[in-house]
Structures are given as structure tokens and as C-alpha cells.
Chains A and B, each alone.
Chain A
Amino acid sequence: MKRGIKYFLAIGVTALMAACATPYAEIEGLGSMENDLQYPFEVKRQALSFGGEVAYVDEGSGDQTIILIHGLGSYLPAWKKNIPALAENYRVIALDLPGYGKSSKGAWEGSLEFFSESVIELADSLGIDQFVLGGHSMGGQITIVTALEHPERVTKLILAAPAGFETFHDGEKEWFRSVATRSLTRLAKPKTIQENVEINFYSMPDDAEFMIRDRIAMRSAADFEGYAYIISKSIVAMVDRPVFDYLNQIHQPTLVFFGEGDQLIPNRYLTGGETQKIAESGSAQIPNCTLHMVPKAGHFVHFEQSEFYNEKVKEFMGL
């Protein structure tokens, strides 16, 4: 009798577990990233000289304009907790870089200068002469490049966990170039995608879940290959356009955020060590720079501690 109950329980538990399924399994794949990704803002499009269009949002108004650039593999919804707050006082523009999100995919050059020129072109097309430029991670490095190449256009810099503060030697750079293949992006399974998003956070917030779901859904999109392509190009671009030695030429006021719990900077495999050291070494190069080390925040510092970020940005903007 007892044995019968045991078997019954075992079969019951097995059947119950077999019936369970991760909610990710129910995600419907996208037909097209450009058309089917859903953003929490009204999305506009602008044709640029590279031959495609960039998707962007244009929210709020004010005497100053902030343009926000996302990081590697990300997209403009990563700013969704910053745009509404900042748009209360300023005009806020966030874009999908060429090849990312809802922007056109194609065999774009993908250098940091190319991305930088796309930002400048977008600003031109919108009649914006000067602007505050903010970027996250790779977007931070693009922000730095833009400020160095177009100092007359960029009035202030806001850098969230910027790439470029951490330096790599030639061998490491060559290694990055060699592993930066499209299959890195193309073959990632949902669990890998999930963990790669989660590690961006000190503690993965529920409202960041959309990043995982969108990324999983993207895999079926007709333009996903183009997304994988631009990511591989972007990695090489960051390696090929080091900025650390030029940080001292940034004379605009600069605000820098790093999460104290950033697990991606410094690179945990190649470098290791403390985020704060990287943050301080980069910030110290910039003549007019304020650094905030943010507790309980990871690499997505502007998302995870959005209230702090928004408040400090507003202070920085002179509010």
C-alpha cells in the first residue's frame, strides 16, 4: 500500500512537472524587428545618408535637448524609465542606432564614427543645433567620440557605465575582433539571453523583463541577421576606437554614473577588479567631470536606479 502511494506520488509529481513550461516558451516570434517591436513611446523614423532610417522617440520640450544612445545589443526602450522623467523639463530624443531595434538593418559600416555621424545627422534633420548627449555603455563611448569630433554640438555629456574607460592591450583587442562573429548573437539560446540580460543588473527588476522577452522574440525576425551583423561590427568598432587617451580633451561638463554592482565593467574575464577604479581612472581624465558611484545598481545603472539617475541629471542640467 505504502509503495503504491509512493509510486502514485512520484507519477503525480512527474506529470505535474512535465506539464509546466517556462513562460518564455510562449513568446511569439517577431516577423520583423523594424515593424513588430513594441515600444512604450510613439516612434518616428528619419532617413539618413547611410541609406537607411533610424527609429527614434521625441518626447517633451524645453530649452535644452537631451539625446540618448543605448548600449551594445540594446535599444531605445532601455531608457523607458528615464525618458518620461526627463521629458518633464527637456526635449528628450532617444534613438535606435542603425542596425538596432526598429532602425534599418543592413551591411552598415558600424564604426563608432559612423554611429556618431548618424546622431549628428538625426540632430540636423530635427533642427537641433546643440544638445546634451547621453549614452549607456557602448553608447557612452559613442557619446565621447561625438563630443571629441563635434565639440561645438555637444554641450554636456551624461555617461552611464560608459565603455572606453577600461582599456585593453593589443592582444586582447585582437581577441575581441576574432570572437566578434554574428553567430554569437544568432545562436544564443533563451537561457543564455536571459542570463546575459540579468547580469546587467545588481538585482534583476521585474520591469526589465521586457528586454529578455523582446530579445527572445527577435530571433525569428527577418531582419534579425542584420541585428546580429551590426553587433559583431559594434564590438570591433569599440576595440578599434579607444578613447581613454582622449578623455582629457573633453572640456564639456560631464556627468558619469557607474553602478557599484556593475559586473560587466571591468570585464570579469579579461581584467577583473573593482568597477570604482575604472570609473575613477576614466573620470579623472575628464577636466570637468562629476562621478556618481551608485549603490545597488549594476551595469544598467540608469534603469535600475532610475530615480537617482533622473534626479542627478536634472541637477546637472541646471534645474
Chain B
Amino acid sequence: MKKLLLAICLSTGVAFGQVEPAGGTSVFDKELPQDSEREFQFIAYWYSQAVSSNYYPTNDFLKGQVIGRLFGQNTTQTSAENTSLYVEQRLLPFFIYQPKLFNGRAVLRASFEIDFTWGDVAYGTGGNFGGAVSADQVNIQTQNVELEFIPFKNWTINLGLQRMFDNPYNPYRTLFDYQTQTGYRLMYWGTDASGITARYQGDYNRWKFGAWKFYENQVQENDDVSMYEVMYERDITQNWRWGGSVNYVRDRANGEGGPSILGQGLNSTLSEYNGTFRFPLGGNPYRADIFWLGSFWSRNVNYTSDRFMTTGFVKYNLGSVDTLVANENYAQRASIGGLAVNLHGGYRYGITKGDVLTVDFLYTAGDGNGINDNHYSGVMTGNNWGSPVSVWISHGAYILFPHGNVVNRFVAAVNDVSNLGYGLTGGTVNLYHDIIPNKLNAKIGAASAISNVAPPNGGFLMGVEANGRLSWAPKVYMNLELHAAYMWLGDFYDSGRVNGGNAERPVNPWTVFLGYKWLMF
């Protein structure tokens, strides 16, 4: 059982420390010497990749970071003639400090992103240049700066710029891979944000309470976007976990604030970038109150109890968008009600977690007429307010749905599961095989989706993707990976509304990239 300890450490994150009253032997001559957690830790994640593909932004302005929907407002297009080829690099340093005087009951965590493309610009749709020849400066983003307090056994309170994930677990004490498979799989909320969260992580049930400030805008005005959430999960059998959640976004910002010039909110250009539904509210000030009610489950996520795992959720967003009519009076412009269902399953046919067959199914309701009927029946996610906020990256696809190996470019045909408000029905199938156990893994996969609403002059089929990956782990948490994917675009992309304004269906996208990852600790 020697190897278990490492697994325990990694899965519980206790290397970050959490005090608990020691029980124990109080007989004097058997008194145990006490130890304390490490006061300072440094962890870093390195990722670099050489990428080649036939899609890229066609706007000269968009260097550095490119995020959003393929063929969307970010001007990404496919090409039969041109091939992009670049190397990009990311370092995420994590600094963790636990003052000994607080005996493990307070932790400061700070992490940063240092992203750049070799010889290219670094980050953002403007500014923040660096990394080119003779330029030592590169962009450094503050990813997280947060304090964690542990007031009582099983309770943690996190304060500051922190992980905002849509699962009930403590993001700093749970493996990231586990979090991408559970709760809402980061499909709704999967980014960093400022706020305060309180979590109870009991033996058999878990609570999470969160209050977040998306945009402050004018501090003297009631023009903010805030989110509040409650999540609960319990173990209902030995292997099954089941939970529920309520989220509420109060949007009073009228689309002001947000990532650079794109704005944010229901009527912003950001919607066009991210591939969410852009509410046609014109320049009218609006107020939105949106709720998400959901239930999620998981079973045997780590494939240890037996060979079958499953996770999934049902989630419904509802609410109202009101616009200014006169004299500071607001009237309902549209009601909102959209359903999403995800079913995810896996079968471990071999010895390790690297020998699995997985399937993923997603349904999101769509709306064919927008808010012409004063009702939006599609799905809404965090992508309405940030870029990207919802990151569904555990499906195994690369182009149809976004892949998680990201530095500066995060582009996919379906960048947001609302699919421009059209909704979708789709999924993925992936077969993984450990050629050498826990060392060399091969994967082949396929993904496909139909839009639940056909765009003007287009059809329902979004496309079919085939992909593959070879991954070699020469050392602990160090991987060299070769990825490739090709997507056959469907008749959905016959529509100029969704294909970037082309007269005919664009060229099929493909990508190949060689990635090198190292989680240093």
C-alpha cells in the first residue's frame, strides 16, 4: 500500500494542509511529537505546444489571444491554402503560504499566468505586448489571489480572486480532472472570479455557498453584475453521489464593463465571440435576473469500485430580461427558460484508468425565433459575462467542442453549449488505451452534433469530428503529447449567419499539435 500515500496526497491536496483536532494518545510516555505542515510551497505548471492548423483569425488586429467560436466574431476562418504554424507557451506558478503562527488555519494562495506565443504578441485583444525579439517583458496575469480560512473542522472560507467552478468541491483540494467530470463539468462556471465562498466538506455530504462580483463598474451606482450560489451534494449509496444547486445572476450593468472592448452581458459583442445567444435589446438599458436550478450525479468517477462510471446533470435556466421603457420604469422584454442534459459514462476494460471507453451526450434546448415571442428558450452560461467562463473540456473533442490544451487560443465550433441559442444534441465517443500502463497512452475519438434549430439557409448537422492522441509520460506529471483532429462540417455551416458570412460552406477545419506539459511540485 506504499503507493497509496502519494495517491492520497494528490487526491486530497493535503499537501496544502488542513488542520483538524488531533485525537490521540494522551499517555505521557506515549505522547506523539507533533508535526506541522510546510509553511511555503511552490508549484508550477508548464505547458508549451507547437500548433499547426488551417484556421486562424483573419483580422490583423487579433494577434495573441484568440478566444471564441470558430467562424464567429473573432474572425476565425478555415483555409484551403494557408496553414498556421506557431509555438506558444504557458507557465502557471502557484505560491502557497501557510503562516505557522496560524497553525494551518489560514492559507494564502497566489497564482499567475505567463502566456505568450514565441515571437508573437502575448495576450489580450489589445495591449500587453511582449515576448518578441529583444523584449524581455511578457504578459503576466494574476490568476488567483485568495485567502483560505479554516474556522472549524470540515469548513473552509475562501476570499478573493479564486476558482469559480460549478461543482461542490474545494478547487484547491480536489484534482482538476475530477472537477471536470463532476458537478456541471465546468460547462456553466469554470473560471476565476472575485468573491467569497464557504464550503462544508463532510464525510458524506458537502455544501457550497458563494457570492461573486462579476462587474463593479461605477462604485456609486447600482450597475453591477453579481452571482450567488448554493450547492449541495451527498453520498446516496456507496458509489453514487447526488446533488443540486441554485445560482442567481443579478445583472444591472447594461452590458457595460467586461473583457476589453467587447463588453459583457446579454446584448454584448462578447456573445458573438463566445457563441452564446445575443439578446437583441438594442441600446436599451436592461436588467436581468437569471436563475439556474440543477441536479447532478456521479458514480465511481475514478473507476475503482468496478469498471463502470457515470456522471451527468440536468439543469434549467430561467428568469427575466427587462428593458427600460420610460421614466426609469422597466418592463419585461423576455422571459427565459432553457434546459440542458448531460450524460457521461465510461467503461474500464483494462487495468488502469488509461484503458477506458467513454461516451458523452449533451442536449441543450434551442430557440428558433430568439425573443420575438418574448421568450428565450435556450441555455445560458457564464459565457454571457466573460471569456471564456464555461469551459467544457472533458469530452475528448478538439474542434467541435473546445479542447483543454490552451495557451492563447481557445476556439471551437461550439464554444458555448447554448450554440448561439440554437441548442444542440451531440456527443463524443473516445477509446483510450494504455500501451504501457501509466506511461504511454493512445486515444481515438469521434464527436458529432446537430443543432436543434437550423440557421437561415443552413441545415441541422454541425459536423463530425475524428481525432486521436498519443501521450507519453517520461516522468511524474510530465507529458509529451501528439494530438490531431479533423472535422467534416455539416450543412449547418451552409448558413452565412454562422459560417462567418461565407457564401458557401467553409473548408473543413483540422489541427495537429505537439504539446509538452509538466506539473512541477
Chain A residues proximal to chain B, CB less than 8 Å:
14, 17-18, 20-25, 51-52, 71-74, 104-107, 137-138, 163, 172, 176, 178-192, 194-196, 198-200, 202-204, 220-226, 229, 231-232, 235, 238, 260-261, 263-275, 299
Cβ-Cβ contact count across A and B, 8 Å cutoff: 189
Given contacts A21-B236, A137-B1, whether A196 and B7 have CB atoms under 8 Å apart is yes
Contact of B203 among A71, A72, A190, A198 (CB under 8 A): A190
B1-46 residues at the A interface, CB under 8 angstroms: 1-12, 14-15, 17-20, 22-27, 29-33, 35, 37-38
Shortest beta-carbon distance, B383 to chain A, in Å?
27
Q: How far, in whole Å, are A195 and B304 apart by their CA atoms in the complex?
A: 6
Q: How far, in whole Å, are A229 and B352 apart by their CA atoms in the complex?
A: 30
B218-241 residues at the A interface, CB under 8 angstroms: 234-238, 240
The chain B residue sitting closest to A216, CB to CB, is B203
Contact of B477 among A107, A180, A269 (CB under 8 A): A269
Q: Which of B49-57, B403-411, B436-444 contacts A (4 or more CB under 8 A)?
A: B436-444
The chain A residue sitting closest to B441, CB to CB, is A272
What are 24 A-B pairs with beta-carbon distances under 8 A?
A20-B237, A23-B237, A25-B235, A71-B2, A104-B30, A179-B15, A183-B17, A183-B18, A188-B8, A189-B201, A189-B203, A190-B235, A194-B305, A195-B304, A200-B4, A222-B26, A223-B25, A225-B32, A226-B24, A260-B351, A263-B351, A265-B3, A272-B438, A275-B437
Q: Counting CB contacts under 8 A, is B152 at the interface?
A: no
- Write out, one digit per residue, whether chain B residues 53-95 have a CB within 8 A of any chain A CB (1) or not (0): 0000000000000000000000000000000000000000000
Query: Is the CB–CB distance between A198 and B304 below 8 Å?
Result: yes
Q: How far, in whole Å, are A297 and B102 apart by their CA atoms in the complex?
A: 46
Contact of A195 among B6, B14, B302 (CB under 8 A): B302
B281-304 residues at the A interface, CB under 8 angstroms: 295, 302, 304
Shortest beta-carbon distance, B26 to chain A, in Å?
8
Q: A25-B235, A225-B22, A267-B2 are in contact. List 17 more A-B contacts (CB 8 A).
A: A21-B234, A106-B25, A163-B2, A176-B6, A179-B6, A183-B18, A189-B12, A222-B26, A235-B2, A235-B5, A263-B352, A264-B1, A267-B3, A269-B6, A269-B438, A272-B473, A273-B438
Q: How far, in whole Å, are A188 and B22 apart by their CA atoms in the complex?
A: 13
Query: Is the CB–CB distance between B235 and A183 below 8 Å?
Result: no
Query: Is the CB–CB distance between B29 and A225 below 8 Å?
Result: no
Q: Counting CB contacts under 8 A, is B204 at the interface?
A: yes
Q: Counting CB contacts under 8 A, is B373 at the interface?
A: no
For A185, the chain B residues whose CB sits under 8 A away are: 8
Q: Interface residue tally of chain B, by bracket?
A: 35 or more
For B3, the chain A residues whose CB sits under 8 A away are: 264-265, 267-269
The chain B residue sitting closest to A219, CB to CB, is B23
Q: Counting CB contacts under 8 A, is B306 at the interface?
A: yes
In order of increasing CB-CB distance, the 3 nearest A-B pairs are A225-B24, A272-B438, A272-B439
Query: Is the CB–CB distance between B438 and A71 below 8 Å?
Result: no
For B242, the chain A residues whose CB sits under 8 A away are: 17, 20
Q: How far, in whole Å, are A105 and B23 apart by their CA atoms in the complex?
A: 13
Query: Is the CB–CB distance between B22 and A186 below 8 Å?
Result: yes
Given contacts A22-B238, A220-B23, A269-B477, whether A274 and B437 have CB atoms under 8 Å apart is yes
Q: How far, in whole Å, are A261 and B303 apart by their CA atoms in the complex?
A: 14
Shortest beta-carbon distance, A206 to chain B, in Å?
11
For B8, the chain A residues whose CB sits under 8 A away are: 184-185, 188, 192, 196
The chain B residue sitting closest to A108, CB to CB, is B30
For B23, the chain A residues whose CB sits under 8 A away are: 220-222, 224-225
Query: Is the CB–CB distance between A181 and B204 below 8 Å?
Result: no
For B325, the chain A residues whose CB sits under 8 A away are: none
Query: Is the CB–CB distance between B25 and A105 below 8 Å?
Result: yes
Chain B residues proximal to chain A, CB less than 8 Å:
1-12, 14-15, 17-20, 22-27, 29-33, 35, 37-38, 201, 203-204, 234-238, 240, 242, 244, 295, 302, 304-306, 351-352, 436-439, 473, 476-477
Shortest beta-carbon distance, B284 to chain A, in Å?
33
Q: How far, in whole Å, are A60 and B306 apart by their CA atoms in the complex?
A: 36
Query: Is the CB–CB distance between B11 and A226 below 8 Å?
Result: no
Query: Is the CB–CB distance between B33 and A24 below 8 Å?
Result: no
Query: Is the CB–CB distance between B12 and A188 below 8 Å?
Result: yes
Query: Is the CB–CB distance between A74 and B1 below 8 Å?
Result: yes
Shortest beta-carbon distance, A226 to chain B, in Å?
5
Query: Is the CB–CB distance between B2 and A268 below 8 Å?
Result: no
Q: How far, in whole Å, are A106 and B26 apart by their CA atoms in the complex?
A: 10
The chain A residue sitting closest to B241, CB to CB, is A191
Query: Is the CB–CB distance between B351 and A202 below 8 Å?
Result: yes
Given contacts A72-B2, A226-B25, A272-B438, whether A22 and B236 have CB atoms under 8 Å apart is yes
Shortest beta-carbon distance, B442 to chain A, in Å?
15
Shortest beta-carbon distance, A51 to chain B, in Å?
7
Q: How far, in whole Å, are A199 and B302 apart by their CA atoms in the complex?
A: 9
For B302, the chain A residues whose CB sits under 8 A away are: 195, 199
Shortest beta-carbon distance, B473 to chain A, in Å?
6
Q: How far, in whole Å, are A260 and B33 apart by their CA atoms in the complex?
A: 40
Given contacts A21-B236, A184-B9, whether A224 and B4 have CB atoms under 8 Å apart is no
The chain B residue sitting closest to A78, CB to CB, is B1
Contact of A107 among B9, B33, B237 (CB under 8 A): B33
Q: How far, in whole Å, are A106 and B4 apart by their CA atoms in the complex?
A: 23
For A189, the chain B residues whose CB sits under 8 A away are: 12, 201, 203
Q: How far, in whole Å, are A231 and B22 apart by their CA atoms in the complex?
A: 15
